[in-house]
Amino acid sequence: MAGALTVGLCVLAVVVVVFQVLAWVRGMPGPGAAMVLGHVGAAMIAVVVQRVADRASGLRVTLASLAVVLVTGLTLWLLWWA
């Protein structure tokens, strides 16, 4: 599940970046720098933590997987719902 959330965050980051570039091209404000940087940063953190989860064993796998879920939840909460 953590791997799927990581991929989802990466796809969401790419979509937000594409929308920002399209907005710049059309002379519109777009999502904004905070939204773009927040999504790209969250995706990078999730990838690093998921890599730890893929290579570790025992309790570290569980903690890293929970960290991915936490990063995903915080990203959605702070950048989409709040």
- Higher pLDDT pick, 82 / 34: 34
Instruction: Provide φ and ψ at 4, rounded to 5°.
Output: -65, -40
What pLDDT score was predicted for residue 82? Answer: 77
pTM, 2 dp: 0.91
Q: Is the dihedral of CA 21, 24, 26, 30 positive or negative?
A: positive
- Tokens for 39, please give them: 């999504």
Tens of pLDDT along 25-59? 999 999 999 999 999 999 999 999 999 999 999 99
| Domain of residue 15, residue span | 2-81
CA distance 65 to 2: 5
Number of domains in the chain: 1
pLDDT at residue 24 in the model? 96
Provide the 3-class DSSP secondary structure of residue 24: helix
CA distance 78 to 82: 5
